[in-house]
Amino acid sequence: MYVVQLSRREQRVSLTRCTVVRLERALTMPESLADDEARILLVEALRVLHRGGIDVARPYFALSGTTCFIKRRFVLPQADGATREHLLWEAGQLLGADIDDYGVDTLVTARHGFFIAVRRQILDLYGVLCHQAGLGKPGFDMASFALCNALENSGTGGVGVEVVLQDDGYSGRAVLLRDGIYEGEHSWSLEESGVTDGIARLLRAELDENEAVPRVWLAGPGDTVNGGAGFDGIDHVVEIDPFAGLLVADSVRRTLETARVPLRAYTVALGLAVRGLADA
């Protein structure tokens, strides 16, 4: 569990804490939230954080996996409001009578419209988790959106076609951006296929034949792409420094230097923290 705490004073954002909590055993999220024993482990982990000085008004969690999804549809030109209505209607068509069981929102970009849905039961289970751990009401973001927000916050990227690759060590997620705007994503189990195959599948689905990807941004703790080796046809592979541009306290800097965790591992957590600051 990767944790980042940011604070803002007079428009200056600083990194006040960041840490990694290792659990006794690997948990599959969000399914483990429904398992009492696993939830006890998670509650204890959150309490450890709280005792260790991580004190936030509202913790944010990344959503991914089997209980949420993003669907892409077309946009109605010059009509954001109508596009949103249309996307909600599409969500209603897809989810039918179960729509009340889902939290649904939309994202409209210049080229596409997306509706995002997550099972409300999962949000409630996160709420229970935070309540048991003595934390405030949780906030949520999709893991892929957190990656985009972290990249944007680091002040890098945003030109042409780019891929952000999140490698957790057991699963991969590739997010395609065009001029810094979210376009699509693909996630897969690393036991099922490698990183190169996963990216290739996304690019085949999303890009024209003559389009090239000038840059892949690496995120996540996994080391299957250590050093950027193994990407055919992509020359520029860069690790994200999610803390670029932030004020970093000396104690945190020392922690980061001594910990055996690459900075890119905190990318999703940083994206969530940035989102939390924006909501505050």
Partner 1 sequence: MIRIDLQRRVARYRWLGIGLGLALAFAAFAGALYTLDRRVPLYSFWNRSSAALPAPPAIPVAIEPTPAIVAVPPVTMAVDLPVSIQAAGGLLVLVAQMTKSVDVRALTIEANGVFVIDGQLDAAVELIQLLELLQPHASQLRGTKWSAEDSDQVHGRITGKLVSPAGGAQVALVATEALQLFAVVAGQAAGNGLQSVVITSPQSTATSDGLYVYQADLTAVGSVAAVASFVQSLFVYDARIRMGRLTVVRSKVADPVSHITLSLDAVVRESP
245 binds partner 1 (CB under 8 A): no
Tokens found for residue 83:
């596009």
Q: Select from 15, 130, 178, 188 the one that contacts partner 1 (CB under 8 A).
A: 188
Tell me the three state secondary structure of residue 262.
coil
The answer to whether 143 and 64 have CB atoms below 8 angstroms apart is: yes
Comparing C-alpha atoms, which of 151, 183, 189 is closest to residue 168? 189
Residue type at position 150: A
Q: Which is nearer to partner 1, 110 or 229 (CB)?
A: 110
Encoded one letter per residue, x for contact with partner 1 by CB under 8 A and - for no contact, window 19-48 reads -------x-x--xx-xx-------------
Q: How far is the CB of 228 from partner 1 (least distance, A)?
A: 25
Kindly provide the b/e burial profile for residues 42-68, where b requires at least 16 CB atoms within 10 angstroms of the residue's own CB.
Answer: bbebbeebeeeebebeebbbbbbbebb
Asked whether the beta carbons of 122 and 32 are under 8 A apart, the reply is no
Two structure tokens written together for 204: 């085949």
Q: Is 65 left (phi over 0), alpha (psi -120 to 50) or beta?
A: left
Our finding on whether 118 is near partner 1 (CB under 8 A) is yes
* Residues 256-275, interacting with partner 1 (CB under 8 A): 274-275
Q: Which stretch binds partner 1 (CB under 8 A): 41-49, 140-148, 219-227, 256-264?
A: 140-148
Helix 120-132 crosses helix 36-51 at what angle (to 10 degrees)? Answer: 50
Shortest CB 259 distance to partner 1, Å: 26
Kindly determine how many residues on this chain lie close enough to bind partner 1 according to the rule CB under 8 A: 51
In the block, tokens 């003595």 appear at 134
Least Å from the CB of residue 253 to partner 1 = 26
Residue 192 engages partner 1 in binding (rule: CB under 8 A): yes
DSSP secondary structure, 197-245, as one string: HHHHHHHHHHS-TT----EEEEESS--TTGGGTT-TT--EEEE--TTTT
Q: Is residue 140 within the footprint of partner 1 (CB under 8 A)?
A: yes
For partner 1, the closer CB: 81 or 227: 81
Shortest distance (Å) from residue 156 CB to partner 1: 15
189, 136 contact by CB (below 8 A): no
Of residues 1 and 99, the one with the C-beta less far from partner 1: 99
Does 195 interact with partner 1 (rule: CB under 8 A)? no
Give the residue, chosen from 4, 49, 87, 123, that forms a contact with partner 1 under the rule CB under 8 A. Answer: 123
- Within residues 51-110, the interface with partner 1 by CB under 8 A covers 63, 65-69, 71, 88, 91-92, 94-96, 98-100, 102-107
Residue number with CB closer to partner 1 (6 or 252): 6
Q: Kindly report the length of the chain.
A: 280
Cβ of 210: how many Cβ atoms within 10 Å? 5
Contact set with partner 1 (CB under 8 A): 26, 28, 31-32, 34-35, 63, 65-69, 71, 88, 91-92, 94-96, 98-100, 102-107, 116-118, 123, 140-142, 145, 148-149, 152, 170-171, 182, 187-189, 191-192, 274-275, 278-279
